[in-house]
Homo-oligomer: A and B are copies of this chain.
Amino acid sequence: MYRSHTCGELRITDVNKQVQLSGWVQTSRNFGELLFLDVRDRYGITQIVFNNNTNNLLFDRAKRLGREFVIQAEGTVVERSNKNPKNPTGDIEILVSDVRILSESKTPPFTIENETDGGDDIRMQYRYLDLRRNEVQEKIIFRHKVGHEVRTYLNTNGFLDIETPFLIKSTPEGARDFVVPSRMNPGQFYALPQSPQTFKQLLMVSGFDKYYQITRCFRDEDLRADRQPEFTQIDCEMAFVEQEDILNMFEGLIKHVFKTVKGIELGGDFPRMQYDDAMRIYGSDKPDIRFGMEFIEMNDLVKGKGFGVFDNAELVIGINAENAAEYTRKQLDELTDFVKRPQIGATGLIYLRYNNDGTLKSSVDKFYNEDELKLWAEKAGMKQGDLLLVLCGNTDKVRKQMNELRLEMGNRLGLRKKDDFKPLWVLDFPLLEFIEEDNRWFAMHHPFTSPKKEDIDFLYTDPARVRADAYDLAINGVEVGGGSIRIYDKGLQAEMFKRLGFTDEEAQKQFGFLMNAFEYGAPPHGGLAFGFDRLCAVLNSVETIRDFIAFPKNNSGRDVMLDSPSTIDEKQMKELNIKTTL
């Protein structure tokens, strides 16, 4: 036993108790007669005090205790004269009778404080020290709580936590696999799962009915800020259900997590939106509906008035930024620069101000008279003081551009409030998308997703038109989960693979086990997976998932703390029957 109490535990009611604390030295303040140490553990900070008059030897020892030393101190709880109401233990301190160094520390390369002086790189290299900082530690503990509540809800609802294998078979459809050479099967490779998709479907075929797993998944993709080569999924599947059953079950899960972890009641049913509408109204399949600013389609008002840019555009759309009519020239230029950035790629931005004095002012006054502009304002539902921002171009592109501008305006106008959470189901995604580069159709969700019954015939005549029984849950503009009703008929599954360009032989080789399983009585089933890392980030209203991962990798897929990946021994490669081609 190294401690009788933690550093977050003692209160005024503990005065006079003999206690033992262990922890890290946060700060040391020597006033000559008295020396104060703040001792830290994950539960809190307690002040301990050494008196030079009463114990000179001990005082001298205390002077040696530097930042991040691990110590064990024994003493008496006393009331503080100078209380600290900000600290739960701030009413008391420990008058130390004995202290022992458990472990010394070099001066850490950055300060262990919320406001640290350490940059990203050094903190990643010394991740074990970064994890000592309160705000990082809290995020890891937060993740633990979310995981726990997810399990509580699913267990209560009769789901079974069933583990599926990590050493599986490579199936090139989808993202790139990480592969693992097999020593016992020379020349052959396992793959790490991109998701447990086929296994959870097999579990439904087996009759397990309600399955979940919080499990690691792997994708060898080029990384972005919010992507990791390994990430964790809350993976769920149910049998004998329709889409409605699944939406209800997992709406319940999200409500449970918000309530238990954040203390927030998400009342009422989550709104639902068709994918087509989401794209038309928000230019996004995961719209942030904390604010309106819906797209206004303006083709009928703007065409044929001699303004070639609009006349030649497939689609002209505007958004009404309320109370932004007083934006300065500079602010408007900033917005123009914003939409012209290569990542967004618009050629220009047109505006219409509805001034507070009732006049209208537009950057295209030359082509549109006041009456015409009034019709714009009317269609956009503008009030005096509002600002209409207009983009035009190819339908798909301009919608994506306007989505970016809308989110930017939402930020600028303070409409995306951190403590406001607005979930949204987006339904009926397209089943297939045509990728020009590969000149073939790809499954938008994955090849196991069921087309909507009423659209199946279009598979042969107009594949783009086939909608899927697929759904995503977006919260505040972030996709936190998605899923679908699955195909459970061997014939339809085979047809899907054919549409995706698989020969029968390829389909059988890669997914034969699943199609064979469908021949022995497969129940209707469907499911959903949440990105656990991302869900944690969204619940905290932050964008990067990295802080919620104890040991994340950088954008080159490296763990800079471990210095991994690394070269391996010749002997290892020889045993695995591989060599590098470098």
Residues of chain A having any CB pair with chain B under 8 Å: 1-3, 22-24, 40-42, 68-70, 102-106, 108, 126-129, 131-132, 137, 140-141, 143-144, 147-148, 151, 155, 160-170, 172, 176-192, 199, 202-203, 205-209, 216, 218, 220, 222-223, 229-230, 232, 240-242, 244-245, 488-489, 512-513, 517-524, 549-551, 553, 556-559, 561-569, 572, 574-582
Contacts and interface: CB of A to CB of B under 8 A. Distances in A.
Chain A binding surface SS class: loop
B42 A106 contact: no
Given A22-B240, A128-B520, A179-B576, 6 more contacts: A103-B488, A167-B178, A176-B183, A190-B565, A199-B550, A513-B562
Given A103-B488, A579-B581, A581-B578, A169 B229 contact: no
B179 A241 contact: no
Contacts of A203: 128, 131, 550
A141 to B, nearest CB: 6
**Copies per complex of this chain:** 2
A113 to B, nearest CB: 14
Contact of A186 (B163, B185, B232, B580): B580
A568 to B, nearest CB: 5
Contacts of A105: 519-521
A433 B576 CA distance: 28
10 contacts: A41-B207, A70-B523, A103-B521, A104-B521, A137-B208, A148-B161, A166-B218, A168-B564, A180-B180, A577-B581
A137 B208 CA distance: 8
A126 B521 CA distance: 13
A164 B103 contact: no
B579 A524 contact: no
A543 to B, nearest CB: 20
A23 B207 CA distance: 8
A170 B569 CA distance: 9
Contacts of A550: 162-164, 199, 203
A188 B488 contact: no
6 pairs of A and B residues whose beta carbons are closest in the complex: A169-B564, A131-B206, A105-B521, A188-B565, A2-B240, A182-B565
Given A1-B242, A41-B209, A551-B199, A229 B565 contact: no
A551 to B, nearest CB: 5
B103 A169 contact: no
A268 B41 CA distance: 33
A220 B576 CA distance: 10
B183 A180 contact: no
A186 to B, nearest CB: 6
A23 B169 CA distance: 30
Given A140-B160, A170-B568, A188-B566, A68 B520 contact: yes
B189 A565 contact: yes
Contacts of A557: 167, 182, 184-185
B144 A572 contact: no
Contacts of A2: 240-242, 523-524
Contact of A132 (B207, B245, B581): B207
A572 B1 contact: no
B582 A577 contact: yes
A556 B185 contact: yes
Given A41-B207, A42-B209, A513-B562, A167 B581 contact: no
A507 to B, nearest CB: 14
A438 to B, nearest CB: 13
B3 A565 contact: no
B523 A22 contact: yes
B167 A513 contact: no
A191 to B, nearest CB: 8
Nearest to A578: B578
